[in-house]
Amino acid sequence: QKEVEQNSGPLSVPEGAIASLNCTYSDRGSQSFFWYRQYSGKSPELIMFIYSNGDKEDGRFTAQLNKASQYVSLLIRDSQPSDSATYLCAADGSSNTGKLIFGQGTTLQVKP
């Protein structure tokens, strides 16, 4: 069974700190990986996606991919209370159809 695993948390960090969110996946055929942020009662919103090994930066967010270790991470620099949410990691499961397999999500709490 294709799986995406995340620590459910909660992960608590002080305001201004770096939050590090981790994700592992089981399907080696997965090509693209996504990080979504979901506020309570709302639909997920895409933060960024990555498909090449290494780092990809976008503002305060950096996604890291290591295909050999089947590991994806998201770093949030200068964390703000408004970043408090559930972060969902997703993989395309080698389908390349837009179908995504989601992890259970990590709840992040940024404390002022």
Site stretch for another protein (CB under 8 A), options 18-26, 56-64, 71-79, 96-104: 96-104
- The secondary structure of residue 83, as a DSSP letter, is G
x/- string (CB under 8 A) for another protein, residues 49-68?
x-x-----------------
Beta-strand ranges (E) seen in the chain are 4-5, 11-14, 19-25, 33-38, 45-50, 54-58, 61-66, 71-76, 85-91, 101-102, 106-111
Q: Would you say 17 or 61 has its CB closer to another protein? A: 61
Q: Would you say 73 or 105 has its CB closer to another protein? A: 105
x/- string (CB under 8 A) for another protein, residues 28-47?
----x---x----xxxxxx-
Q: What is the token pair recorded at 28?
A: 């080696």
Residue 104 interacting with another protein (CB under 8 A): yes
Peptide bond into 10 cis (omega under 30): yes
